[in-house]
Amino acid sequence: MPRSYRSMVIVLSVAALYGLICRVLFAAPTLSDWMQIVSVAFIYIMPMSLGALVCYLGYKLDRPSRFWAFGAPPLTMLILLVGTLVVQLEAAICVAVAAPVVTSLALVGGCVMSVILLKMDRSKLPVTFAVLMPFALAPVEQLWEMPHETRTMRNTVVIHASAPDVWNQIYAVPAIDAKELPNQWIYLLGFPRPISAEIDKMGVGGRRHATFERDVSFYEVVTLWEPERKLSFTIKADPEFIPHTAFDEHIIVGGRFYDVLDGTYEIEELSKGVCVLNLSSTHRLSTRFNWYAGWWSEWVMNQIQGSILEVIRKRCEGFGSGRPVTS
């Protein structure tokens, strides 16, 4: 640990200032052609630069130690993440998604800077290079188009009810009481809960209007209508009409980085009075780390789709039936 709290306060203050400058500049609309928050420069390089800065300051203001090389960089990053929640600079879901990556990379930055200071170069040149690296790489990164990837996610539930009963619960969904929804982590992290789904006419071409909390709406057009068997629809989410208080700006549905394209309900009758209901959806990811963002989007959508299927099961079977859900 540092020999004085003064060293830790100075290091934390400088790191917070550096992180704030990066956050403001990378999010500035006027600089969007040069840098983006959802980028390698900000998500990968900036945490390493911050970790290197923390290690450098710790070594200079206090003394070389394992704490400044291995402990202080991720700890500082974690404190800054909590700070963004307190001042409402970031949403809880974004902090949860970013925390494992940025804290690990801050540790890497601290370790690299420790090696450089102890064995190679003790001047200000390494830390200067580290601090400026995100800003130097960001414009270069913007020269390449974001990769696009689509994924299909599927959830299943066994319902002790007839196919007609299940069908009547899926093409339109009456208002959902909050007590009907199971407790899910996504709702604790601030995701809007589903409210209802209305349809203007039966059959292909019918328009469904799905509403969620905080005035979030999705407009869906039916593309396949097979009563008591299958219902498919396209999904349109216009980010201009979704309140910015409903989702974090970086994960808004229909935005630059993420979108939901379509959905399908499929009913399979196992026996008289027992059905399997499948709900699948297709999603578009457009980031430079789809491998990681895809895992989180699957986790989120599995919880959302699973909660919707749970509501349908309860309504078909009657509340309090106690039968288990398979997903």
Q: Which of 182, 179, 242 is nearest to 210 (CA)?
A: 242
Tell me how crowded residue 131 is: count the other CB atoms within 10 A of its CB: 18
Residue 5, φ and ψ in degrees, nearest 5:
-65, -25
Spell out, as residue ranges, where the chain has pLDDT lower than 50.
Answer: 241, 243-244, 246, 320-327
Containing 107, the helix (H) or strand (E) segment is helix 92-119
Any idea what DSSP says for residue 173?
B
Under 8 Å CB-to-CB from 97, ≥6 apart: which residues? 293, 296
Q: Are β-strands 207-212 and 216-226 bridged in parallel, bridged antiparallel, or unpaired?
A: antiparallel
Please report the DSSP string for 69-102 in residue order: IIIHHHHHHHHHHHHHHHTTSS-HHHHHHHHHHH
What is the predicted pLDDT for the residue at 215? 80
Which domains are seen in the chain, by residue range?
5-141 (no CATH), 149-317 (3.30.530.20)
Q: Which of 149, 147, 64 is nearest to 110 (CA)?
A: 64
CA dist., res. 170 & res. 176, Å (int): 13
Cβ atoms of 109 and 130 closer than 8 Å: yes
Q: And the tokens for 256?
A: 């630059």
The one-letter amino acid code at 199 reads I
Containing 42, the helix (H) or strand (E) segment is none
Handedness of CA 190, 196, 199, 200 (dihedral sign): negative
What is the predicted pLDDT for the residue at 239? 55
Q: What is the pTM of this model?
A: 0.80
Q: Whole-angstrom distance between the N-terminal and C-terminal Cα of the chain?
A: 47
CA dist., res. 280 & res. 153, Å (int): 5
What is the predicted pLDDT for the residue at 238? 58
Of the CA atoms within 13 Å of residue 156, those in its CB half-sphere come to 7
What is the predicted pLDDT for the residue at 53? 97
Tell me how crowded residue 69 is: count the other CB atoms within 10 A of its CB: 23
Cβ atoms of 199 and 187 closer than 8 Å: no
Q: And the tokens for 309?
A: 């299927």
What is the predicted pLDDT for the residue at 306? 92
Cβ atoms of 53 and 47 closer than 8 Å: no
